[in-house]
Amino acid sequence: MKPVKFSTFLFTMLVGLTFQLYPWSNTGIIIRPDFLLVIMIYWLLQAPYHCNIGWVWFAGLLVDLSTGSLLGQHALTFAVTAFLGLIYQRRLVLFNRWQLYLYVIFLFGAQRALILLLKLFAGGELPDWTYGLPVISDLILWQCMIIWFGELTRPKKL
């Protein structure tokens, strides 16, 4: 794991926001990954010296503003997810690839469950099963991040 420049971090965040703002069609929105969440969680675990809970929270706030939902909803869930991610952050090097996938799925799932809970409290209705689909596309995006910016687990040779 090479240290990452702060500018790289900011740039990926901007790219994530742009993708978040992309006008998704009806079918696209069902499978759209949570770009900012995946990118921020990746940096939180990979480069904790740049990205902390505050940054992830801020990204959540950006999502709130761009979706026009209640201000603070996504920010809250992002912050909680970031905290859950930080619990095992130092032990990640011991994980193998599949354990890491499982862990990440848990994180993304937790975020979706939390936002669902908040929306239900606010009087929303229960969505159908396709609500869980973005977790899969999140995982694909996660793999892309790993390919572009490096593994989180320890290389096998050491």
Of 9, 57, 108, 149, the one binding another protein (CB under 8 A) is: 57
Closest distance to another protein from the beta carbon of 12 (Å)? 14
Cβ nearer to another protein, comparing 82 with 104: 82
Residue spans of alpha helices (H) in 68-126: 73-87, 97-121
- Cα 126 to Cα 74, 91, 118, 133: the distances in Å are 18, 36, 11, 15
108-147 positions binding another protein, by CB under 8 A? 119, 122-125, 127-128, 131
Instruction: Name residue, tokens 């991610």.
Output: 85
CB of 79 closer than 8 Å to CB of 115? no
Q: How many residues bind another protein (CB under 8 A)?
A: 49
Q: Is 49 in the site for another protein (CB under 8 A)?
A: yes
Q: Is 88 in the site for another protein (CB under 8 A)?
A: no
Closest distance to another protein from the beta carbon of 7 (Å)? 13
Q: Is 105 in the site for another protein (CB under 8 A)?
A: no
The C-alpha atoms of residue 117 and residue 123 are separated, in whole angstroms, by 10
Closest distance to another protein from the beta carbon of 140 (Å)? 18
Closest distance to another protein from the beta carbon of 20 (Å)? 7
Sign of CA dihedral 117, 88, 13, 148: negative
Torsion (CA) 99, 8, 79, 62 in degrees, nearest 10: -130
The C-alpha atoms of residue 3 and residue 111 are separated, in whole angstroms, by 27
Which residues of the shown chain bind another protein in the complex (CB under 8 A)? 3, 14, 17-26, 29-30, 48-50, 52-54, 57, 60-61, 65-73, 75-76, 79-80, 82-83, 86-87, 90, 119, 122-125, 127-128, 131
